[in-house]
Amino acid sequence: MTAPNTPNAPNTPNAPFAAAPAPTAHAAAPDARRAGRAGVTGGARAAQVDIALLLEGSHPFARAAAPGWAERMIRAFPQTTFAVVVIGDRREACGEMAVALPDNVLHLETHCLHDDEPAATVPRQRADAQAFADGARLHDLLRQRGKGINGVGGSHGAGGVNNPNGGHVQASAAMRELINALMDAQGEEGEEGKEGKEGKEGKEGKEGRLSEHAFLHSRPAWDMIVEQYRRHCTDTSFSDYFWSVRTMHRPLWRLARIAATLMPARVYHAASTGYAGLLGAMLRYRHDRPLLVSQHAIPAREHGIDWFQSRWQRDNPYRDPQHRRGGNAVEHDVPETDYCRELWLRFFESLGRVCYEAADEIVALYEGNRRGQVRDGAPASRTRTIPNGIDLPALAPLRAQRPERVPQVLCLAGRVVPRKDVKTFIRAMLTVVRQCPDAQGWIAGAEDEDTEYARECRGLVQGLGLAGNVRFLGPRRLDELLPQVGVLVLSSISEALPPAVLQAFAAGVPCVATDVGACRELIEGVGDEDMALGAAGAVVRIADPGALAREAVALLGDDERWRAAQRAAIVRAERYYTQHAMVASYRQLYQHLAAKPHADAGGRAGVGRPALSPATMSNPAGERLPAGRCPFAGAP
């Protein structure tokens, strides 16, 4: 077989993504907030929005190969108003605006929780001893992982607890007390700019509250950290422990400031647990409005690993600079950092439980995810499964563009980062090429998130002599590549429900994937009716390049098997994973939650506005999503 041509360099967005009309209700208004150095965009401030969407990670309107879940959801409800809050690590990882902001987004703010703030002279701080005693108790609870929990009873739901040690329940209760203390520390002023005008006298005036300034700079904070270190740490240096505790907790005050200033919404929708979920819990308790949690990110434990790895070396200034690498820090001196790593994991698991306790409805992307949520403390009665959907009208026509013969191309679509385990894909290509010399491996994804790992991957390609067969394409729109691809490959060590697999299925491309997240459900089906369709590819163990190569070659070398996998992929996508079905499910949830009566608890929640009507919520936009150049591109 002849080797296929490598696609040309990416172009600007084109059909089926027509240019969107220029927004008229928004004007760039960057606000150099001290709370996370937020960038705030919007026109005249609205009194209230229908949905406040709380996101964690990269910007939903950043440069990307295709619209993500958040953008598609917003555009699917053009008559529903949104506020969008993006919570990221550092500014360079959040991305910049690159597509037109939809007109129904009335407010957008980005908070980079770990960007450094301007240096300032810090006066000695006084602090409430009881507040720090509560903080120490919470630290103890986080350190002692509970034995299990079947349900958590929240303030607006019931659940049965089966945990004789009470670790999970106590940690959840302590975290909620901490939320109250954090919100109380903000007072009613709600204006972060006022903090800069307070000076020393103003900060000391907050004595008796667990303020951020007191936590970072007071003597009780130092004493608490030293005591905890002496009691519990035997294999971790003090500098490691100190910076881990400081970095872990500092965002809590920034989230409280966001909650104190964000406009009210009829429904709060957190797209993950972790920091976004905690912000959702704060807003739910502050405004007494419903919280919807849809876990589009990875599970809480793995989420905690991500945060730990992404900043562990960078936030500890006493670490050896040669080891400062985001995304792979655990490889350095694992025994020394093991305790701190576990502390991060317990911290994020506790955030997840608080989020589940506060949530009115909890959505999982796949059944395995839902069962995991229940194991992690979510009341089963509040959980449901709504898988992501794909844009069938845009992707189905790609099937007609495929060549008659199956292209000998294996495509990995994803960022070049350790979690995608690109090295396993490269090693698998060595075996593939030995059996199919004309085969090509395409790596379609950004390389700027972890540049050192990307360099290592390129070096591995050179070292294995695969330069003529493995190519790095950079960020690409997957729909431009799929007609030229024979098998989509997913070598990740962790995923939730990867949209690339669904896009490939809709375009008629089978997949070979590792057994992570929803991949087995997607490829083999779930339930008798779904499984009867057959396998849409193959599932292999993680970090097994031999198995990955074997299954890919088996598909590419057996036309009958490939056609059967293609049929299963197409039918499964059309039957179970359409965007129309996803939007309908969320429309029903939004209507149900927005119609809940308002119990004004004295906050800013009592804004008189009728509940969302069926007319407002029942007219999702067409399947084709507009895109265009954002007028705010490059704004801070």
pTM equals 0.76
SS3 helix, strand, coil % of the chain, rounded to 5? 45, 10, 40
Instruction: Using pLDDT thresholds of 50, 70 and 90, give the confidence band for residue 614.
Output: very low
Name the more confident of 610 and 85.
85
Which structural domains are found in the chain, ordered by start? Answer: 28-117+128-196+208-389+578-616 (no CATH), 392-576 (3.40.50.2000)
**Packed helices 238-261 and 334-358: angle between N→C axes, nearest 10 degrees:** 20
Check if the beta carbon of residue 592 is closer than 8 Å to that of residue 523: no
Instruction: Using pLDDT thresholds of 50, 70 and 90, give the confidence band for residue 112.
Output: confident
Range in 154-158, 229-233, 572-576 the model is least confident about: 154-158
Q: Which of 20-24, 315-319, 563-567, 619-623 has the highest mean predicted lDDT (pLDDT)?
A: 563-567
Question: Would you say residue 377 has pLDDT above 60?
Answer: yes
Distances (CA, A) of 192 to 112, 114, 186, 281: 15, 17, 9, 20
Check if the beta carbon of residue 514 is closer than 8 Å to that of residue 491: yes
pLDDT score, position 304 = 54
Question: Would you say residue 388 has pLDDT above 70?
Answer: yes
Alpha carbons within 13 A on the beta-carbon side of 56: 27
Question: Would you say residue 30 has pLDDT above 90?
Answer: no
Token readout for 628 is 């265009």
The residues facing 514 across adjacent strands are: 540
Range in 37-41, 84-88, 232-236, 468-472 the model is least confident about: 37-41
CA–CA gap between residue 8 and residue 606 (Å, rounded): 55
Q: What is the 3-state secondary structure (H, E, C) of 482-529?
A: HHHCCEEEECCCCCCCCHHHHHHHHCCCCEEEECCCCHHHHHHCCCHH
Task: Determine the average pLDDT of the residues in 486-501.
Answer: 95
Mean pLDDT, all residues of the chain: 76
DSSP-assigned letters across all residues of 304-332: HHHHHHHHHHHH-TTS-GGG--TT-GGGS
Token readout for 152 is 């958590």
358: left (phi over 0), alpha (psi -120 to 50) or beta: alpha
Question: Would you say residue 297 has pLDDT above 80?
Answer: no
Phi, psi of 487 (to 5 degrees): -145, 130
pLDDT in tens, 395-421: 999 999 999 999 999 999 999 999 999
CA–CA gap between residue 296 and residue 71 (Å, rounded): 13
Name the more confident of 21 and 557.
557
CA–CA gap between residue 412 and residue 422 (Å, rounded): 8
CA–CA gap between residue 556 and residue 431 (Å, rounded): 14
Strand 39-41, strand 105-112: pairing: antiparallel
Instruction: Using pLDDT thresholds of 50, 70 and 90, give the confidence band for residue 174.
Output: low
Question: Would you say residue 308 has pLDDT above 70?
Answer: no
Radius of gyration, CA atoms only, the chain:
25
- Which helix (H) or strand (E) segment is 412 a member of? strand 409-413
Task: Determine the average pLDDT of the residues in 177-196.
Answer: 58
Phi, psi of 543 (to 5 degrees): 55, 40
Question: Would you say residue 4 has pLDDT above 80?
Answer: no
Q: Which residues contact 386 (CB under 8 A, 6 or more apart)?
A: 294, 363, 364, 365, 582, 585, 586
Helices vs strands, H then E, count in the chain:
23, 14
Q: Cα 313 to the chain's mean position, in Å?
A: 21
Q: Cα 97 to the chain's mean position, in Å?
A: 18
pLDDT score, position 128 = 63
Q: Give the rounded percent of residues in the chain with a pLDDT score beyond 70.
A: 64
Name the more confident of 76 and 183.
76
Q: Which residues contact 320 (CB under 8 A, 6 or more apart)?
A: none
CA–CA gap between residue 384 and residue 372 (Å, rounded): 12
Check if the beta carbon of residue 301 is closer than 8 Å to that of residue 229: no
DSSP-assigned letters across all residues of 193-221: HHHHHHHHHHHHTTTTS--HHHHHHBHHH
According to DSSP, residue 62 is labeled B
pLDDT score, position 156 = 40
Task: Determine the average pLDDT of the residues in 339-367.
Answer: 88
pLDDT score, position 246 = 83
Question: Would you say residue 124 has pLDDT above 80?
Answer: no
Range in 177-181, 507-511, 528-532, 598-602 the model is least confident about: 598-602
Q: Which of 216-220, 602-606, 614-618 has the highest mean predicted lDDT (pLDDT)?
A: 216-220
Distances (CA, A) of 181 to 141, 253, 268, 298, 531: 17, 10, 21, 29, 50
Q: For residue 265, which of 277, 280, 253 has the smallest C-alpha distance?
A: 280
Q: For residue 603, which of 154, 257, 261, 191 has the smallest C-alpha distance?
A: 261
Name the more confident of 509 and 89.
509
Hunting for tokens 């703030």 — which residue is that? 117
pLDDT score, position 138 = 57
CA–CA gap between residue 78 and residue 290 (Å, rounded): 21
Residue 109: strand, helix, or coil: strand
Neighbours of 432 (CB within 10 A): 27
pLDDT score, position 299 = 55
Instruction: Using pLDDT thresholds of 50, 70 and 90, give the confidence band for residue 89.
Output: confident
Instruction: Using pLDDT thresholds of 50, 70 and 90, give the confidence band for residue 283.
Output: very high
Question: Would you say residue 5 has pLDDT above 90?
Answer: no
The residues facing 109 across adjacent strands are: 40, 85
CA–CA gap between residue 49 and residue 68 (Å, rounded): 22
Question: Would you say residue 108 has pLDDT above 70?
Answer: yes
pLDDT score, position 225 = 86
Range in 55-59, 204-208, 433-437, 457-461 the model is least confident about: 204-208
Q: Which of 83-97, 98-112, 329-343, 544-558 has the highest mean predicted lDDT (pLDDT)?
A: 544-558
Contacts 24+ apart (CB under 8 A), 429-433: 429/464, 429/466, 429/469, 429/470, 429/549, 430/464, 430/466, 430/545, 430/549, 431/545, 431/546, 431/549, 431/550, 431/553, 432/549, 432/552, 432/553, 433/466, 433/469
Task: Determine the average pLDDT of the residues in 592-614.
Answer: 53
CA–CA gap between residue 513 and residue 541 (Å, rounded): 8
Neighbours of 549 (CB within 10 A): 27
pLDDT in tens, 544-556: 999 999 999 999 9
Q: For residue 296, which of 589, 69, 38, 11 has the smallest C-alpha distance?
A: 69
pLDDT score, position 339 = 76
Distances (CA, A) of 53 to 105, 110, 140: 10, 12, 32
DSSP-assigned letters across all residues of 133-169: HHHHHHHHHHHS--S--S----TT-------TT-HHH
CA–CA gap between residue 504 and residue 559 (Å, rounded): 18
Whether omega for the bond prior to residue 16 falls within 30 degrees of 0, making it cis, is: yes
